[in-house]
Homo-oligomer: A and B are copies of this chain.
Amino acid sequence: MNIHYPNGRKFMNQLSTSQTVKARKDPTYSNRGMTLEEDLNETNEFYLLNNIAVIHKKPTPVQIVEVNYPKRSAAVIKEAYFKQASTTDYNGVYKGKYIDFEAKETKNSTSFPLQNFHEHQIQHMEKVIQQDGICFVILRFSSTEEMFLLEAKQLLSYWERMKVGGRKSITKEELLSTAHPISLGFRPRIDYIKKIDCLYNL
């Protein structure tokens, strides 16, 4: 299971003993690259403010076990656990059409591991395609900052290949021929709607 901080940054489990960690508050990103999620949040905000599209990241699903209600202040969740999401992380609407996607990064440089996705998400994508929703993934190679928009139907074919014993990743070459490169921009940072507009003649 992937554990995420509230800002969606993945938790790297290198702690060997029980330890309590305070979640970071709004770090500044001035001197380093932003994560894919940060870039996408900025992009979605840009789309929202400029009436281009309404796309939101879904909240991290949490199983709440214990809540404390102190006198005269807000309820405090005292025990809760991260749950695995049953859908993709992002969805919304563009020109009346349903938009649905997942975004993943890898540190690999020559191929994108399929283990970044889990069975539930793949099943969700199949369902969305059945309902004629627009469904895709955004893949980023963090070492080179290369980014691709891969339509879900293509991802499903790579997933199928893996299930019948084939390779557990998508090679860069395969992405170059079956996915659509996206270059990092300024505003918006990741203009995936522009790609979707072209691909689907919207």
Contacts and interface: CB of A to CB of B under 8 A. Distances in A.
A93 B131 contact: yes
Nearest to A133: B93
In the complex, the count of this chain's copies comes to 2
A77 interface: yes
Interface string A127-155: 11011110000000000000000000000
A2 to B, nearest CB: 11
Please indicate which of the listed interface residues A63, A79, A130 has the most CB atoms of chain B within 10 Å of its own CB: A79
A162 B69 CA distance: 32
A61 B77 CA distance: 12
A165 interface: no
A131 B54 contact: yes
A21 B67 contact: yes
A133 B86 CA distance: 23
A23 B80 CA distance: 10
Given A22-B65, A59-B59, A133-B54, A77 B77 contact: yes
A197 B71 CA distance: 48
Interface string A75-108: 1111111110111000111111111100000000
Interface residues of A, number: 64
Contacts of A76: 79-81
Contacts of A81: 74-77
Contacts of A133: 54, 93, 96
A93 B98 contact: yes
Contacts of A189: none
A23 B82 contact: no
A17 interface: yes
Given A20-B66, A75-B81, A76-B81, 18 more contacts: A11-B69, A15-B69, A18-B70, A20-B68, A20-B69, A23-B66, A54-B128, A56-B86, A59-B85, A60-B62, A62-B77, A62-B80, A74-B81, A74-B82, A78-B78, A92-B98, A95-B131, A96-B133
